[in-house]
Amino acid sequence: MNDTNNHRCDLPWWKRTTVYQIYPRSFYDRNGDGIGDLEGVIDRLDYLQWLGVETIWLSPFFTSPQADFGYDISDHFGVAPEYGSLEECQRLFDEAHARGMKVVLDMVLNHTSDQHPWFLESRSSRDNPYRDFYIWRDGRKPNGAAPPNNWSSMLGGSGWNYDPQTDQWYWSSFLPFQPDLNYRNPMVKSAMLDVVRHWLRAGADGFRLDIFNAIYKDASFANNPRSLRIPSEDNPAFFQRALRTQNHPDTFAFALELRAVVDEFKDPPRFVVGEVFGPPELLRQYCGPSGDGLNLVFLFESLRTPFRASAFRELVRNFESTFAEPLHPTYVFGNHDRPRQMERLRDDPRRARLLAAFQMTVRGVPFIYYGDELGLAHHHGMQRDAARDPMAARFRFIPKFLLPLLRKRGILTNRDECRSPMPWHDGAHAGFAPPGTRSTWLPLHPQSSIKNVAQQTKDSTSVLSAYRRMLHLRRSSLALSSGRLELLDAPADPNKVLAYRRVYEDANVRETAEVFLNFSNSEVGLDLRDLHSRPGVRLHSNLHDEPTMPKRRHLLRAWEGAVVLTDHPA
């Protein structure tokens, strides 16, 4: 076991890495305007390094009217002033790289802001040279008063928006102020691929690709088939199957083109991870027939998997078979659009510590959403009427009593609830903003004074300590960061214990890690006779720092995760 396994393994770095998502607006405010900024991220790199994450992904900080907090870009080459400047962005790359960390940006290829100069031109007249940068159609006959077809946006309702100035309709997959670009226009594709090259040249290590599944729409503009299915992870459309608006074969083909551009940058290699929706066997098509498409895709199936040993065993089995080498799965339990993961974990820190043990020991890239390493609860108290999130207004018609049910399915209608300022300590503004700051852009999390970085750093039993322990264990072990995975028959009740083995071997080294996760409220006895007798074997737990010798019969505490590491002599 050593901390420099990067040099000893030929698996690409992006398959071995761990990713921490920063929502820049909410992470750390250096200049006291109540909004997090790039200086703030630079300031907290030491924390992230201490925590043990290897890659940071930043939600968009490009120039934007901020109608959807940066997912509405008006200049792909600029930095929004509230977040900082291009110089600060460069410094962020440099400082992260100096610490051996990688920086992944959020690339919104599908749409721009309606304030983007291209769209302002495009909507100005039917014969403007930029008209065809977006998707414009006539309304339905007889007088064009109805949208061109039945296509619904991802948020329900028609995705077509009437523009009286030119008496046509433009298409938006998400909100009306986010018009979709027209990738069937070669100029659009090449302009956007240049944006990609620009940021890779500037030092970005890769991209998270916003709603990549929506890039191509069917050129026939035929209606989507009707369906009675309610919107779900697999089909985020309302009462129709998003056959012609999402996961189009042309988007699978574009994934390969994009990958070829990303692979132009070899030193170091870069990667892209797609935000896409659908069942895993469909999503794997984004990765290309031989792993030559998107390097990774988010597999949001994990968001609705019940927190039980049996359900997690099935999840792993599914991802292992659908994303077998050369593909690679991802494990996501929260992000800036979803209920906080503690919602599913019943606000139980023991479950959060176990989830950290699972996420950092399974084969697949773990994505950790800021604040989840503290076990921060979902913020239920946010006012719908005062919401900053534009989605909240759209969904205000949904009766309150339905909201918990939707949350259970991983759907959030007011995303302010998962975007609270990061609590650093229990002082002014929870340390998120300097003491003189007038107010923070979103209210502080009510748990800030009891769940914050300073307090949890001191407590070796905290959720933060468990995350840190597991992140460091993963990066120190070739088996955990790079090994193949074999599910094991649990040496105890399989309804309680999930067990798997990770194995790494090459010409010089063989390392194994046996992982035992107790998804139950009670102590479980494990028969570790075989492991006990191996030379050089050590047992690590998510609950304490020092490794121990595995006993013949090991007692796994409630919600404990144990990892037995063995270096086998070459």
**Active site (catalytic) residues:** 210, 264
Binding mask 462-501 for ligand GLC (x = CB under 6 A): ----------------------------------------
Torsion sign over Cα 465, 468, 473, 476: negative
Q: Are strands 271-274 and 206-209 parallel, antiparallel or unpaired?
A: parallel
Interface with ligand GLC in residues 421-460 (CB under 6 A): none
Q: Which is nearer to ligand GLC, 300 or 504 (CB)?
A: 300
Name the closest residue to ligand GLC (Cβ): 71
Q: Which is nearer to ligand GLC, 275 or 514 (CB)?
A: 275
CB of 208 to ligand GLC, least distance (A): 9
Structure tokens belonging to residue 279: 């069942």
Interface with ligand GLC in residues 269-298 (CB under 6 A): 275
Residues 6 or more apart whose CB falls under 8 angstroms from that of 399 comprise: none
CB of 69 to ligand GLC, least distance (A): 8
CB of 175 to ligand GLC, least distance (A): 7
Q: Which is nearer to ligand GLC, 178 or 240 (CB)?
A: 178
Helix (H, G, I), strand (E, B) or coil at 353: helix
In DSSP terms, which residues pair with 501 in a beta bridge? 486, 514
User: What residue type is assigned to position 410 of the chain?
Assistant: G
CB of 393 to ligand GLC, least distance (A): 13
Q: Which is nearer to ligand GLC, 211 or 430 (CB)?
A: 211
Structure tokens belonging to residue 437: 């700051």
- Distance between CA atoms of residues 155 and 152, nearest Å: 8
Q: Which is nearer to ligand GLC, 278 or 561 (CB)?
A: 278
Contacts 24+ apart (CB under 8 A), 221-226: 221/137, 221/148, 221/149, 222/149, 223/149, 223/150, 223/151, 224/149, 224/150, 224/151, 224/152, 226/150
Residues touching ligand GLC, count (CB under 6 A): 10
CB of 64 to ligand GLC, least distance (A): 11
Interface with ligand GLC in residues 119-148 (CB under 6 A): none
CB of 401 to ligand GLC, least distance (A): 25
Q: Which is nearer to ligand GLC, 109 or 563 (CB)?
A: 109
Per CB under 6 A, the list member of 80, 196, 204, 211 interacting with ligand GLC is: 211
Does position 68 bind ligand GLC by CB under 6 A?
Answer: yes
DSSP code string of 111-175: B--TTSHHHHHHHH-TT-TTGGGB-EEPPBTTTS-B-SS-PBPTTSSBSEEEETTTTEEEE-SS-
- Distance between CA atoms of residues 390 and 419, nearest Å: 13
Interface with ligand GLC in residues 301-340 (CB under 6 A): 336-337
Q: Which of 509, 495, 492 is nearest to 562 (CA)?
A: 492
Per CB under 6 A, the list member of 210, 343, 514, 560 interacting with ligand GLC is: 210
- Distance between CA atoms of residues 198 and 76, nearest Å: 10
Does position 174 bind ligand GLC by CB under 6 A?
Answer: yes
Helix (H) / strand (E) element for 537: namely strand 537-541
Q: Which is nearer to ligand GLC, 73 or 360 (CB)?
A: 73
Q: Which of 54, 17, 60, 24 is nearest to 42 (CA)?
A: 24
Structure tokens belonging to residue 475: 């990066």
- Distance between CA atoms of residues 147 and 157, nearest Å: 11
CB of 351 to ligand GLC, least distance (A): 25
CB of 214 to ligand GLC, least distance (A): 9
Does position 517 bind ligand GLC by CB under 6 A?
Answer: no
- Judged by phi (left if over 0) then psi (alpha if -120 to 50, else beta), residue 196 lies in alpha
User: What residue type is assigned to position 536 of the chain?
Assistant: G
Q: Which is nearer to ligand GLC, 394 or 544 (CB)?
A: 394
Per CB under 6 A, the list member of 1, 56, 104, 108 interacting with ligand GLC is: 108
Binding interface with ligand GLC (CB under 6 A): 68, 71, 108, 174, 178, 210-211, 275, 336-337
